[in-house]
Structure 1
Amino acid sequence: MTFDQIRYFIAVMESNTFFEAAEKLHITQSTLSKQIMKLEKELEVRLLDRSRRRASVTEAGKLFYQDCLRLSDGYENMLGHLAPYRHRGEQVLCLGTLPVLPQYHLTSKLREFSERYPELRLILEEVEEPELLPGFLSGKYDIIISRKNVAEELNAAFFSLADDRLFAVVPDSEALCRKLGFSPELCRELFSPCPSPLSLERLGRVPLILMNRYTSIFQFCIRLFQSSATCPNIVRTGRVESIISAVSIGEGVSLLPGSNFEIFHHENVRLIPLKENTDIPIVMCMKKGGPTSPAQKKLIDFFQKMTPS
């Protein structure tokens, strides 16, 4: 039994379907299913009842889930306890980041930092929010790169690295926009040379395809709709590339950061600004009031000097 298998079983228990769990874990549904079956074989216990169309957890599975949670928490705590003792005698910095470095031109800056401070060993891990946030709280990561709304929820100290904001993403076709529920008048406005910003209230009336539920972008979108007293019609979630493809064929509209369109192919869609404030900058976060190591101070000073105020 491995910690990956424990993590996989926790994801299955906390998701509605195997497909949703596999998406959270960024593995295929087939891989996830094989790992759970391998776990059951090793334990010689059936954790899931597959006799019906939809698998359900057995009593043994419920008990095992509680043990998995304790093991997972213990593992994260252990990593946090050991963090100060790793690689004593050399400067080591563990940086956790969302997979956003290329679109904000941060890869070259991190390379320049490493070249400027060759005596410092920078360990860089690109992970999604479900791994990034626990890693930061447990002390696995000394510093993280995330979105501002996440830093505010963590009550962390932070400073901005790059600006960004959400845009409405709609099909580049008046006919498809009308099929989605936009009025003829609004369609003419959207396809004018200088379209007026869209309101969230108008977007709430049409099918929406948002980023996966575990992402900070999804949570930010939900809060935006709540603040505008709008109930969004979310038909599904997905990754950026699949969302853009779905919007291009008229499956729905979306809300995505503008920076995504610097790295993803985006024919047959158009970006429309929003009336509401949708700023969602990328920030560098560190714990408030905690000790700052020489390595942390070097990284923070480097980026603060390179980032326009």
Structure 2
Amino acid sequence: MTSVFYGFATKHPDVPFTLEEVEEMELMRGLEAKKYDFVIGGRHMLNEDTRLISPSTKDELMVIIPDTHPLAQNASISLQELASEKKILMNPYTAIYYQLCMQIFQQANISPNLLRTARVESILNTVSIGEGISLLPLNSLPIFRHDNIVAKPLNPAVSLAVVMARNKREKTSKKLCLLNFLRTLSKKKKTSSLRRLIFLLRLEVFSY
């Protein structure tokens, strides 16, 4: 999306535009405080005051284990198979930790056997030396490539929707300008995901 936003800023230099990357809780506080006009994040972290704009992409929660682990050859891994494993998860302030991982452990009636929490790069290093296993979004992994680990889908799978959203109470011309830009861009693209995007953007524009 960075190249898309750069294209918007280049085409519309009269519209003030800043792109920031922050942790999830700060992202939501910024939206509520009107610091941000739009946010991109997991659907699970949005509340009733946000208006969904598009299902930008999909992600999936994966089991991260050493490549020497007995389960490393499995096509998928269940939570029950991981019950006794020491786990290092993302930090508690992330939605992945408190709205996904802990929730699915609770639903499966499994104690998470938590070793500690950490950032993704530290988690991958810990898993690579065999100190524990983890659960991480698939799309996070290419950013932090690491040897000696494998990623396996959960069984049953846990999918994550990554979306763009705005505050329902905020209606401004610069928001409409960005939405129209994205709509025009999606018309030029022929991928199925962008065709879904244009449909939802039309709904969003007409809601103003």
Give the TM-score band, short-chain normalised.
Answer: 0.7 to 0.9
Q: Which runs of 5+ in 2 are unaligned?
A: 187-192, 197-208
Against the structure 1 CA distance between its residues 216 and 154, is the aligned structure 2 distance closer, same or farther, given a 3 Å change threshold? farther
Q: 1:301 & 1:228 partners in 2: Cα distance?
A: 44
2:109 pairs with 221, 229, 245, which one?
A: 229
Does residue 1:157 correspond to 2:37, yes or no?
Answer: no
Aligned CA RMSD, in angstroms, stands at 1.8
Q: 1:1-309, aligned counterparts within 5 Å?
A: 106-151=1-46, 153-158=47-52, 159-173=54-68, 177=69, 187=70, 190-192=71-73, 195-219=74-98, 220-288=100-168, 290-303=169-182, 306=186, 307-308=193-194, 309=196
1:277: Cα distance to partner? Answer: 3.3
Counterpart of 2:51, as a letter, is A
Task: Return the structure number with greater strand share.
Answer: 2
Write the deviation string for residues 174-215 of structure 1: whole angstroms up to 9, x where unpaired: xxx3xxxxxxxxx2xx343xx231112222221010011101
Write the deviation string for residues 259-300 of structure 1: whole angstroms up to 9, x where unpaired: 112211211000111112311122111122x24212112223
- Count of residues in Structure 1 that have an aligned counterpart in Structure 2: 186
1:113: Cα distance to partner? Answer: 1.6
TM-score (norm 2): 0.82
- Does the residue aligned with 1:205 lie in a helix, a strand or coil? coil
Q: 1:130 & 1:141 partners in 2: Cα distance?
A: 13
Q: 2:77 & 2:113 partners in 1: Cα distance?
A: 16
Return the structure number with greater relative CO, CA threshold 8 A, min gap 6. Answer: 2
Contact 2:50 2:165 in 1 (8 A): yes
Q: 1:125 & 1:211 partners in 2: Cα distance?
A: 21
Counterpart of 2:12, as a letter, is Y
TM-score (norm 1): 0.56
Contact 2:66 2:72 in 1 (8 A): no
Contact 1:161 1:303 in 2 (8 A): no
1:154: Cα distance to partner? Answer: 4.7
Identity in percent: 35
Q: 1:216 & 1:140 partners in 2: Cα distance?
A: 20
Q: 1:191 & 1:141 partners in 2: Cα distance?
A: 42
Instruction: Give the greater-gyration-radius structure (CA).
Output: 1
- Does the residue aligned with 1:299 lie in a helix, a strand or coil? helix
Task: Return the structure number with greater helix share.
Answer: 1
